Amino acid sequence: MGTGYVGLVTGACLAYLGHRVTCVDRDEERLKGLRSGRMPFYEPGLEDLVARGVGRGRLDFARVEGVAGLVDEADAIFVSVDTPQGEDGSADLSSVAAVARQIGRALAELRTGRGSPLVVVNKSTVPVGSGDYVSMLIRDGIEEAIGEGAGGEGAAGFLVVSNPEFLREGSAVYDSFFPDRIVAGADSREALDVLRTLYEPVIEQSFPTELDPRPKVAVPFITTDLASAEMIKYASNAFLATKISFINEIANICELVGADVSEVATAIGLDARIGSRFLNAGIGWGGSCFPKDIAALRAAAREYDYEAILLDAVAAVNVRQRKQVIAKLQRDLHTLKGKRIALLGLSFKPNTDDLRDAPSLEIASVLDSLGARAVGYDPVAGKAAAQKLPSLKVVFDPYEALGGAHAAVLITEWEEIRTLDLNRASALMDEPKVLVDGRNALDPEAAVEAGLSYRGFGRG
């Protein structure tokens, strides 16, 4: 249930592995598109995988109202709906709640009677305790339907498992086939066994695939209790966000003392205890998961009157990084009124069209409020960005964005932006030709040689 980045990818992958999958959503337009082979978002490799599943008769699509008919036969239902940030920072569970009630009603309306309990797999990122909350709502749904006279054979019961998702947008298909681990949390051995069977080909890496020719290594299948599984997801994202905010803090100090954070990050990353990934200084994290998950974890801590001072600081550092883009522009251009600023890359990271909590949108709206004209370019997210932020002028060629720009900001390090022709960029721009490299993705020397005023993050 839910055909977003997680639900659709998971469904298509499970179909590829030989399971029979129905992807369910409440969004009729989305389903219509999927039935005619149109993907609702950009994700490398997904269109082929979906077409393959549909072609083999293993993958189809249904409206949420059709769930009653599916529960008769399904071994498991994956809940993969959105859990956005609520007003107080906590996770908004309304989509999860709606789906849980729907499952309850479907169980009450069962015609055939099931031999075994339905396994409800919670894949959405949800706060600790949500497994029990989902169970309660499923029971509510059953009671509501029975109260309204649903006359099925009666539910054979259900079991809830937490199975947090770790895929990364941009490599979601790959990550689903080759995850670092699969986590399953439940109170019942039976439910964990169903999940293990479903994932068997991934755990054993026994499926035929052209995706990755490297020798196969079995994937750890971690079984635990519900609460720990739910916490594993938050702790993973919190740690990754902490790593980025940490290196950004170091970058800011590097800038003051005249050190180069790129050199520092490379060297500290070689320490196996630290590891080299997620140590790129720049404008910080954004996207569909980190901001809301960190906020939800902080909100959960507040519920217990616990002050999560480290997580609070991780978030505060991130807010400050975005502001630095504007400060760097102001330092060189002074007033931003009437200035044209090219924004290179708009999606929250490369290889996705996702604009949820993308730094580009915040930076563009601050520039607008300061009287500057922001002109954005992105290989796939341009149109959606223009819809979200009408004040942002969007063009479909990076050099068009740079034409007449007094400054450019590299926001998303798409390959084609990392490899821009800097001489051409410089020739097109207007003085003082400032280039703020928000991801430290470009070669500062090459930029200076091209006649640009290069401003990185923490690069001395």
Ligand X SMILES: NC(=O)c1ccc[n+]([C@@H]2O[C@H](COP(=O)([O-])OP(=O)(O)OC[C@H]3O[C@@H](n4cnc5c(N)ncnc54)[C@H](O)[C@@H]3O)[C@@H](O)[C@H]2O)c1
Going from the C-alpha of 22 to that of each of 18, 38, 69, 73, the distances in angstroms are 13, 16, 11, 11
Residue 289 falls in the annotated catalytic set = yes
**CA nearest neighbour of 266 among 256, 255, 277:** 277
Q: Is 351 in the site for ligand X (CB under 6 A)?
A: no
- Cβ nearer to ligand X, comparing 285 with 457: 285
Q: Is 176 in the site for ligand X (CB under 6 A)?
A: no
- Cβ nearer to ligand X, comparing 78 with 457: 78
CB of 449 to ligand X, least distance (A): 38
Q: Is 5 in the site for ligand X (CB under 6 A)?
A: yes
Distance, CA of 234 to CA of 290 (rounded, Å)? 9
Tokens (6 digits) for 79: 């809940």
Q: How many other β-carbons are positioned within 10 Å of the β-carbon of residue 57?
A: 9
Q: Is 6 in the site for ligand X (CB under 6 A)?
A: yes
| 380 Cβ neighbours under 8 A, 6+ residues apart | 42, 347, 352, 353
Q: Is 127 in the site for ligand X (CB under 6 A)?
A: no
Beta strand 118-122 with 76-79 is parallel
Among 17, 23, 283, 289, binds ligand X (CB under 6 A): 289
Among 74, 138, 161, 167, binds ligand X (CB under 6 A): 167
- Cβ nearer to ligand X, comparing 7 with 359: 7
Give, for 61, the enclosing helix (H) or strand (E). Answer: strand 59-63
Contact characters 61-100, ligand X, x per CB under 6 A? ---x---------------xxxx-----------x--xx-
Contact characters 13-32, ligand X, x per CB under 6 A? -----------xxxx--x--
How many residues form the binding site for ligand X (CB under 6 A)? 27
Extract the runs of DSSP E, i.e. beta strands, from 243-386: 340-344, 373-377
Q: Is 382 in the site for ligand X (CB under 6 A)?
A: no
Residue type, 348: F
Going from the C-alpha of 62 to that of each of 2, 30, 78, 109, 245, the distances in angstroms are 10, 11, 14, 18, 42
Q: Is 1 in the site for ligand X (CB under 6 A)?
A: yes
CB of 459 to ligand X, least distance (A): 30
Tokens (6 digits) for 281: 């200084």
CB of 210 to ligand X, least distance (A): 24
Catalytic residue numbers read 289
**Chain positions contacting ligand X, by CB under 6 A:** 1-7, 24-27, 30, 64, 80-83, 95, 98-99, 124-125, 165, 167, 169, 288-289
